Amino acid sequence: MTLIISATNRLNSNTLKVAKYYQKILKAKGTEASVLSLTDLPENLIVSDLYGKRSADFQNIQQLVSAADKFLFVIPEYNGSFPGVLKVFMDACDFPQSFYGKKLH
State pLDDT tens for residues 83-105. 999 999 999 999 988 999 888 76
Region at 30 (left for phi over 0; alpha for psi -120 to 50; beta for the rest): left
pLDDT at 7 over 80: yes
What is the DSSP code (8-state) at residue 39? G
pTM score of the predicted model: 0.92
